[in-house]
Amino acid sequence: MYRNPFYLGWNKGWSFLFFLEGGIAKIEAKGFGISITTKVKKGESPLESADRLVWKEQRIRKSRYYSWLKSINEKTIN
């Protein structure tokens, strides 16, 4: 198992791996049963890349959660 190369206290539950693949800098986030990878954009630090990657995933999860809640509430009303 790889050790976490840096620690982000604002997002517990995630671990990050910064690596090069074919000469392209990438970052991988693992947590909550998923693994997502993205390229590090030009001029962006690994910390900013991790923030962008996890923020996007959390936004998607939140949207799905509220969509699920809405469907449950509609079933109970009908």
pLDDT digits (tens, 9 = 90+) for 25-40: 999 988 878 888 999 9
Rounded Cα distance between 42 and 22, Å, is 16
Two tokens, residue 46: 């690994």
Which DSSP state fits 3?
P
Rounded Cα distance between 54 and 46, Å, is 12
- 6 in a domain, yes or no? no
- 1 in a domain, yes or no? no
- 8 in a domain, yes or no? no
pLDDT of residue 6: 55
Helices (H) and strands (E) in the chain, counts: 1, 3
Which carries the bigger pLDDT value, residue 52 or residue 2? 52
- 4 in a domain, yes or no? no
- 49 in a domain, yes or no? yes
Order of strands across the sheet that contains 24-31: 15-21, 24-31, 34-39
Show the domain range for 24. 15-77
- 9 in a domain, yes or no? no
- 3 in a domain, yes or no? no
Domain count, the chain: 1
